[in-house]
């Protein structure tokens, strides 16, 4: 019996130690899978925020009226990150604007590419390489009618056993001519991290 226990122990130890060698493994995963690596802002939060905000905007009666006979032109101002984390808020606005564009109800101007567009127009107009009759003209761009902007804020509380983080994402749509905020919504995320006796 003692011999059996000893052999089992040694075998268990060897198996576990061998299994703990530093071996890198690369796998493909589901991009929509819930990610709970840690408590900070992650991919699931980004997807949740972008999805909820887009749905809310598209089903809003006000936006339904705005988009009834036309496709309004929007531009996305940056999301103000008021959390302690370095979050790429451009990814959030990219996701939102892509979903809105795919809905077919809005059109967008990309202010982040104005300089690149200017260079291309300058090349077409002034390089002598492009047929003057077919070159795109300066001064024909269409201005945005609406501005999409927002804030991401967090409240963090923690003690030795538990951490709690609450995120609030607010998004607003402003009519640039009148200055009226035509639509606004907010979404909340709460994440809690606590100690568990067994956790793997």
Partner 1 sequence: MKSLLLTSLTLFTFLFSYSAAADYDRNKAVPVEKVLFGTVVSARNISQEELIEDKNSGWKTFGGALIGGAIGNQFGGGSGRDIATVLGAVIGGKMANNRSQGKTVIVRLVELMIEVDCTEQQCQQFMVIQDYDQQMVFHQQDAVRMVYLANGIVRIDKQF
Applying CB under 8 A, among 39, 109, 130, 184 the residue interacting with partner 1 is 39
Instruction: Rank residues 28 and 200 by Cβ distance to partner 1 and give the closer one.
Output: 200
Burial class (CB within 10 angstroms; exposed 0-12, middle 13-18, buried 19+) of 92:
buried
In this structure, is the dihedral angle defined by the CA atoms of residues 56, 61, 66 and 69, taken in order, positive or negative? positive
Quick check: 162 binds partner 1 (CB under 8 A)? no
Quick check: 41 binds partner 1 (CB under 8 A)? yes
**Cα–Cα distance for residue pair 110/95, rounded to 1 Å:** 14
Quick check: 9 binds partner 1 (CB under 8 A)? yes
Q: Smallest gap, in angstroms, from Cβ of residue 196 to partner 1?
A: 13
Q: Smallest gap, in angstroms, from Cβ of residue 184 to partner 1?
A: 20
Burial class (CB within 10 angstroms; exposed 0-12, middle 13-18, buried 19+) of 160:
exposed
Quick check: 93 binds partner 1 (CB under 8 A)? no
| Residues 163-182 close enough to bind partner 1 by CB under 8 A | 163, 165
For residue 143, give every residue at least 6 positions away whose Cβ sits within 8 Å of its Cβ, in sequence order, or none. 73, 109, 176
Residues 97 and 108 sit within 8 Å (Cβ to Cβ): yes
Residue 91 carries which DSSP code? H
Q: Smallest gap, in angstroms, from Cβ of residue 38 to partner 1?
A: 8
Burial class (CB within 10 angstroms; exposed 0-12, middle 13-18, buried 19+) of 63:
buried
Residue 127 carries which DSSP code? S
Quick check: 36 binds partner 1 (CB under 8 A)? no
**Cα–Cα distance for residue pair 87/81, rounded to 1 Å:** 7
List, in sequence order, the alpha helices (H) in the chain: 2-19, 43-59, 61-66, 89-103, 114-126
Instruction: Rank residues 85 and 188 by Cβ distance to partner 1 and give the closer one.
Output: 85
Q: Which stretch binds partner 1 (CB under 8 A): 5-13, 97-105, 125-133, 171-179?
A: 5-13
Instruction: Rank residues 90 and 122 by Cβ distance to partner 1 and give the closer one.
Output: 90
Here's the x/- map for partner 1, 116-155, by CB under 8 A: it reads as: --------------------------------------xx
Contacts with partner 1 by CB under 8 A lie at 2, 5-6, 8-10, 12-13, 16-17, 20, 39-41, 78, 80-86, 88-90, 154-157, 163, 165, 200
């Amino acid at each position: 019996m003692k011999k059996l226990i000893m052999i089992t122990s040694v075998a268990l130890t060897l198996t576990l130690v061998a299994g703990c060698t530093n071996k890198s493994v690369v796998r493909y995963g589901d991009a929509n899978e819930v990610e709970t690596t840690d408590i900070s802002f992650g991919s699931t939060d980004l997807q949740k925020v972008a999805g909820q905000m887009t749905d809310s905007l598209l089903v809003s009666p006000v936006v339904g009226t705005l988009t009834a006979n036309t496709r309004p032109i929007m531009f996305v101002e940056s999301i103000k990150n008021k959390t302690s984390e370095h979050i790429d808020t451009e990814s959030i606005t990219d996701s939102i604007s892509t979903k809105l564009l795919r809905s077919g109800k809005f059109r967008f101007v990309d202010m982040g590419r104005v300089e690149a567009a200017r260079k291309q127009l300058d090349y077409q107009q002034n390089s002598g390489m492009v047929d003057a009759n077919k070159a795109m003209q300066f001064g024909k761009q269409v201005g945005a009618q609406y501005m999409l902007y927002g804030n991401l804020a967090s409240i963090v509380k923690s003690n030795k056993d538990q951490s709690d983080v609450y995120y609030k994402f607010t998004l607003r749509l402003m009519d640039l001519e009148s200055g009226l905020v035509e639509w606004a919504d907010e979404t909340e995320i709460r994440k809690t991290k606590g100690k568990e006796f067994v956790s793997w």
